[in-house]
Amino acid sequence: MKKVVLAYSGGLDTTFCALHLSRELGHEVHAVLVDTGGFSSEELEQTAQRAHALGVASFEVLDVKHTYYKEVIKYLIFGNVLKNQTYPLSVSAERILQAKAIANHAKKIQAGAIAHGSTGAGNDQVRFDMIFQTILPDVEIITPIRDLKLSREAEIAYLKEHGVSMNFEKAAYSINKGIWGTSVGGKETLTSGQGLPDSAWPTPVSKSGNEELTLDYEQGELKGVNGEIFNDPVQAILKVQKLAAPYGIGRDIHVGDTIIGIKGRVGFEAAAPLIIIKSHQLLEKHTLTKWQLFWKNQLAEFYGNHLHEGHYLDPVMRNLEAFLADTQKYVTGQVKVKLHPYRFELLGIESAHDLMASKFGSYGEMNKGYTGEDVKGFTRILGNQTAIFHQVNQNDD
């Protein structure tokens, strides 16, 4: 019997894989759930029970929440990373850490193969495979859903045939939940013209009216929420999510280009990531210079795309992380946010490093650092080459 480590979440795909690997292929299956913040203790216990009921040789939970923040989320915040200006990489970011944790676990128990439940039409297959083949180049990668080209309907039929009991109606939607957002995929996201029904979203809208939120940043990291200081940024993120998600904030559908070249849609629910990124970005607008902001935008977009496509282990990512971290030296202050049903607004910031300091002047009102004559000379020099161009080529107009 071959010892196989299965990336297991307890959902439809990985439930099928656990059963197929043991019953059809005769492997010794070691199911591993990598917790990136999407499970309660009760859910973890229920998932363990379901895994053992499927006949796995072992089931283990790897808690990587703090590693996930330290190695990935922190830099997504520093870079204000939103794929296509929309999506906070909720799934792609966590897949990288999940794959890395699973590969290291497979190495630890000396497994002969690693299995995952990715289909042949999405990004996850590439992300998992790239991490696995880099860390464990000699270990076989098994992908039953991809290899058998199975539909969700076919998986459900197989599990029912083998007496597996689970909520198959809920399984109609593929939901991945973590501290950096929840993705929702279903029949509507397979089209170009349908939105997800309210029942598909994991968090129901239960708040109305509005409330103000204050976020305290220290060198780019979220350390306080409404005056409560957190030594652990993960807890600060979860606090924002708890306060904002019941408003229905952060719901959207991302349309993007997959790694394998096809267009794809995915719904996501990410109240905390969107509020944190946008408030952090506002604080940076006040505390960083024009060229710091410019180069951060260029490099952060590359960082986000490279991460999204599975290149986390490329050494250039460590170079970019060093740059992003260095830009955060003075990104310290408080951001005020107002929460409303389905939206939020940024009210303003307070920071000792605010470059909009009034002692240097007020935009559109007065200046204190130069004279009108200084501006006249500056403007003449600034526009000198443009003026020369038009004088030399005036007959060509």
The domain spans of the chain are 3-176, 200-251+268-350, 359-391
Give percent of the chain above pLDDT 90.
Answer: 81
| Whether the predicted pLDDT of 97 surpasses 70 | yes
Q: Provide the pLDDT for residue 98.
A: 94
Between 365 and 351, the higher pLDDT residue: 351
Closest by Cα among 35, 273, 277, 254 to 123: 254
User: Mean of the pLDDT values across residues 152-164?
Assistant: 92
The pLDDT mean for the chain works out to: 93
Q: List the CATH code of the domain at 200-251+268-350.
A: 3.90.1260.10
| Whether the predicted pLDDT of 359 surpasses 90 | no
User: Sorting pLDDT into bands at 50, 70 and 90, what band is 342?
Assistant: very high
Q: Provide the pLDDT for residue 248.
A: 96
Q: Provide the pLDDT for residue 18.
A: 96
Give percent of the chain above pLDDT 70.
Answer: 96
User: Mean of the pLDDT values across residues 326-338?
Assistant: 98
Lowest mean pLDDT across 177-186, 250-259, 310-319, 362-371:
362-371
Lowest mean pLDDT across 39-43, 59-63, 143-147, 307-311:
39-43
Q: Provide the pLDDT for residue 281.
A: 98
Q: Provide the pLDDT for residue 74.
A: 98
Angle 227-229-233 from CA coordinates, rounded to 5°: 125
User: Sorting pLDDT into bands at 50, 70 and 90, what band is 361?
Assistant: low
Q: Provide the pLDDT for residue 370.
A: 82
Residue 226 Cα distances to 73, 229, 306, 311, 339, angstroms: 21, 8, 34, 37, 13
User: Sorting pLDDT into bands at 50, 70 and 90, what band is 17?
Assistant: very high
pLDDT digits (tens, 9 = 90+) for 223-249: 999 999 999 999 999 999 999 999 999
Between 333 and 119, the higher pLDDT residue: 333
| Whether the predicted pLDDT of 383 surpasses 90 | yes
| Whether the predicted pLDDT of 357 surpasses 90 | no
| Whether the predicted pLDDT of 394 surpasses 90 | no
User: Mean of the pLDDT values across residues 196-202?
Assistant: 91
User: Mean of the pLDDT values across residues 201-217?
Assistant: 96
Q: Provide the pLDDT for residue 360.
A: 62
Q: Whole-model pTM?
A: 0.90
| Whether the predicted pLDDT of 351 surpasses 90 | yes
Phi/psi at 268 (nearest 5 deg)?
-150, 155
User: Mean of the pLDDT values across residues 154-161?
Assistant: 93
pLDDT digits (tens, 9 = 90+) for 164-174: 988 776 667 88
Fold: same for 3-176 and 200-251+268-350: no
Q: Provide the pLDDT for residue 365.
A: 61
Q: Provide the pLDDT for residue 371.
A: 85
Give burial (CB, 10 Å; 0-12/13-18/19+) of 270: buried
Homologous superfamily of 3-176 in CATH?
A: HUPs (3.40.50.620)
